[in-house]
Structure 1
Amino acid sequence: MREDMTRADLRTRKEDVTLQTASTRYVDGDGIRFAYRRVGPENGIPLVLLQHFSGNIDAWDPAVVNGLANERPVIVFDNAGVGRSTGQTPDNVEAMARDAITFITSLGLTQVDLLGFSLGGCVAQQIASVQSGLVRKLILVGTAPRGGEQHLMAVLQAAFSDAGAPDPRLPLFFTSSVNSKSAGLAFLKRTKERIEDRDIESGPAVTGPQARALISWCAALDPEHISLRSISHPTLVVGGGADAMLPANNAYTMFKAMMNAQLVLYPDSGHGAIFQYPEIFVSNALSFLKV
């Protein structure tokens, strides 16, 4: 295992404090070179963020990442085949979880908190199931359990067919209300604040396998919720009340089945609820993560 760092990586935290300014680092594990950024204090249990379908490091909302990093070390990364990470994007959640575990352990970390958004939430569940001791607490956002309800392809088709949307993430992540649209435009602006060393956008080599992984995860029926019931970690389940991609009944199902879960649903919000209410979400998340 080897971590490559440039001179820029040796800057102090004061200079390298935000998602927009943090240098992109790399660590090798199991033949994959993972790209990542780390922000926040040096000490403490790191919060590792697992990204949504098609997303890369720069698709995260700086308001969320930087807000969490005010109190916690936060690590955002590209899993295998995504962005600047090498390797091939798997077409199943189990392999994605194995790659994520490789990344975490390659950094020399023995315990982390996980925040998984959408597809990343499925990966987080799998990690907690197969590598329980590595995880302290879970935050599952806009995601689904194994066998959960999803409308990925229909919602994606509608979003990319919306000629009036400046970015497909606007109809994907937000509702049609004035307030939600306004929050969505503000989110899109924040994601473009980083100018230099931006991550590489995802193409079919990423989106194809990821779509198959999410659809297969939701197609694998688990009526007794055995997978969910196996997760004993303290868990915060978060969703948007009007999520069209992975509906909010998934969040309620997880809350009911998991032995140690809390549930938060945000009003008038879609798949990107935490980006519509970044300050409230950060406050909720930090309160939950405190020991």
Structure 2
Amino acid sequence: MSENGTRTVRTGGVRLVYRAWGAERGVPVVLLHCLGEDGEDWRGPLISQLGAAHPVYALDLRGHGDSDWPGAYAMDDFRRDLLGFLDALGIGAAILIGHSFGSVVAYLFAQEHPDRVARLVLEETGAMKPVRPPQEVPDRPQGEQSFDWEVKVQWTRQRNEPDPRWWDDLDRITAPTLLIGGGDRSHLPQEDLARMAERIPRARHITVAGAGHLVHEARPTEFASAVQTFLAECAGDDGGGGDDGDGAGDRS
């Protein structure tokens, strides 16, 4: 463990930094931050509430925070990193909670590895359909950045012309899924979240009105309550579904 409480794993030659909180047993929760942030972004009521019953891990995605900045940022790279992270910690199936960019990583992973996702929470997620008109690839700003600007560049290109399977394969997601929108203050089309919920077989969609794009920051208590309610309802439906602790991972 580092001086600031972070830990590291290596997967595919990339060093990933993460934080760990919470219970020793229970279905592990993995938190995936938005573009430009890192795992510290998740501190708040959600951590304290989930940590009572789950091991909780907040990852710095590649190109962010203290994880490596390798320069390669295809969505498949992020999916492979997440798989390697789960494998390194001995996690069989996890509850994935992602915000914005991190939520896209989460649901693309859930398409490809449905058996590794027990539950899925997508906060202000993006519908991966071609953007018209396309977004401009941004110039690198002056000064030091808290993340590798190349992530933004490569993400914009992939966002403009996504792999068609990323939209077509939403029905491959088998985990119970909650999509949380921020209402009319968000820059994302909220109807896209509703359409995604229709395409994902076991999904529901809620709106935290007036929260905007940063729901877990603007309305942390409401966000945490919505997640907890969703997880409790899922547990009531199928007895908790998934790992009861054997896949909790390395807490040392």
The TM-score with structure 2 as length reference comes to 0.79
User: Percent identity between the aligned chains?
Assistant: 26
Aligned to 2:170: 228
- Aligned equivalents of 1:76, 1:238: Cα separation in 2: 19
Cα offset for 1:221?
Answer: 6.7
Is 1:251 the counterpart of 2:193? The answer is: yes
1:38 equivalenced with 2:20 (yes/no): yes
Secondary structure at the aligned position of 2:70 is classed as: coil
Q: Deviations over 1:236-269 (max 9, x none)?
A: 0011102543331221121111111011111112
Structure 2's unaligned 5+ residue stretches are 236-252
Q: 1:150 to 1:288 in 2, by over 3 A?
A: farther
Deviation at 1:109, TM superposition (A): 1.1
Q: CA deviation at 1:36?
A: 0.7
**Structure 1 residues 218 and 281: alpha-carbon distance in aligned structure 2, compared to 1, 3 A threshold:** farther
Structure 1 unaligned spans of 5+: 9-21, 161-199
In structure 1, which of residues 100, 106, 126 is the aligned counterpart of residue 108 of structure 2?
126
Contact 1:241 1:265 in 2 (8 A): yes
Partners of 1:133 and 1:210 in 2: CA distance? 30
The alignment partner of 1:242 has SS state of: helix
> Hey, what does 2:243 align to over in structure 1?
none
Structure 1 pair 86/225, CA: closer, same or farther in 2 (3 Å)? closer
CA distance in 2 between counterparts of 1:152 and 1:58 reads: 31
Q: Which residue of 2 aligns with 1:217?
A: 159
- The 3-state SS of whatever aligns with 2:184 is coil
**1:268 aligns to 2:210 (yes or no):** yes
Q: Which amino acid aligns with 1:45?
A: V
Residue-pair matches, total: 229
Does the Cα contact within 8 Å between 2:131 and 2:159 map onto a contact in 1? no
Give the superposition deviation at 1:151: 9.7
Task: Say which SS state the counterpart of residue 114 (structure 1) adopts.
Answer: strand
Residues 55-98 of structure 1 show CA distances to partners (whole Å, capped at 9, x for unaligned) of 11222242333333233221001122321112515332121111
Q: 1:112 aligns with which of 91, 94, 115?
A: 94
Q: Is the 8 A contact 1:242 1:271 kept in 2?
A: no
> Which of 71, 81, 99 is equivalent to 1:99?
81
Residues 1:140 and 2:140 aligned together: no
Paired residues of 1:48 and 1:112 also in contact (CA < 8 A): yes
Quote how far apart the aligned CAs of 1:152 are: 10
Work out the CA distance in 1 between the residues paired with 2:191 and 2:132. Answer: 10
1:207 paired residue among 149, 163, 168: 149
Deviates more, 1:145-154 or 1:31-40: 145-154
Q: Post-superposition shift, 1:50?
A: 0.9
Deviant stretches of 4+, over 6 Å: 150-154
| 8 Å CA contact retained: 1:151, 1:246 | no
SS in 2 for 1:101: helix
TM superposition shift of 1:281: 1.4
Partner amino acid, structure 1, of 2:49: G
For 1:281, the equivalent position in structure 2 comes to 223
RMSD between aligned alpha carbons?
2.9
Name the SS for the 1:127 alignment partner: helix
| Maintained 8 Å contact 1:119/1:214 | no
Segment of structure 1 superposing worse, 66-75 or 266-275: 66-75
Distance 1:53 1:245, change over 3 A: farther
Whole-angstrom distance in 2 between the partners of 1:271 and 1:151 = 21
Query: What corresponds to 1:28 in structure 2?
Result: 10
| CA deviations over 1:7-45 (Å, ceiling 9, x no partner) | x7xxxxxxxxxxxxx721112222222211111111011
CA distance 1:103–1:267, change in 2 (3 Å): same
